[in-house]
Amino acid sequence: MSSEEEKDEAGQQLTKIDKINFAIAIVIPSLIALIAGLTIPGYLKLAIGSSVLLVFVVLLFLTRAALKKVVRKYTWLGTLIAGTAAGLVIGALVLAPASHTIIHVIKGPQRPGPPPGLSTLTSLMNEEAAAARAHDMAAVSSLYAPAPFVKDAACRTSGSSHTWTGLDQIRARYQALPKFSALRHVGGQVQWRPDNSQATYATMRAQTVGIIPRSASSPKAQYIHGNEVWTFARVGGRWVITSFTYNVCFRPGGGG
């Protein structure tokens, strides 16, 4: 063997430190896989995994010269290095979801947004008016909660107050309503509970406006105008009517 070949072979020999660094670098993907499987909070997984990855990168940098020697001498090592890189990528993908946990910890709980729009409730009121005009019992059943009530407060008409409790009585009331040529609920003012996007209850003040056309028993058309109070609840993800009180008189100053 010539002196040139002896120098080249000697130059390709790995130091003891290089061998130790390579061994640690090869073990790192296994450590990442182990960390991903631990039953610890995600942010701890990400912190530990990031530290291990940092060690891997530092080792590669420190042994970069020796790495070139080994790859030239042992071609199979290229496959090992590719496998190591693939393990690191897979480990990073497994650990990445933990970053959402860290963001959540830093930001803390999100504040609720604004309450639903007024149309969430007025659309139900419009559907109720349509059901009353058409005597649509199926629509009435779908609009009301399982245990609702409807009340005639009898403030502006003669006679005593009357309450219909439960869907059966309420359907019977709608079935007995006169024919309307017009019926609307207007001027709604709502109060949400709680007053944000997590609202589950609401109270609405509005006015009834309608016309009952003349008939054989009533030669003149009747014009309807009065105050009303509605209550609503969010049940199973949708809003329904829990009560409807009409013919109401409000006390001066806004009291009911």
**Domain map of the chain by residue range?**
3-107, 119-248
- CATH of span 119-248: 3.10.450.50
pTM: 0.57
Q: Is 9 helix (H, G, I), strand (E, B) or coil?
A: helix
In b/e form, how buried is each residue of 183-210, taking b as 16+ CB within 10 angstroms?
bbbeebebebeeeeeebeebbbbbbbbb
Q: What is the mean pLDDT of each run of 10 residues along the chain (256 residues)?
A: 47 59 60 60 68 68 64 59 58 51 54 93 97 97 97 85 96 95 95 96 97 86 94 96 94 58
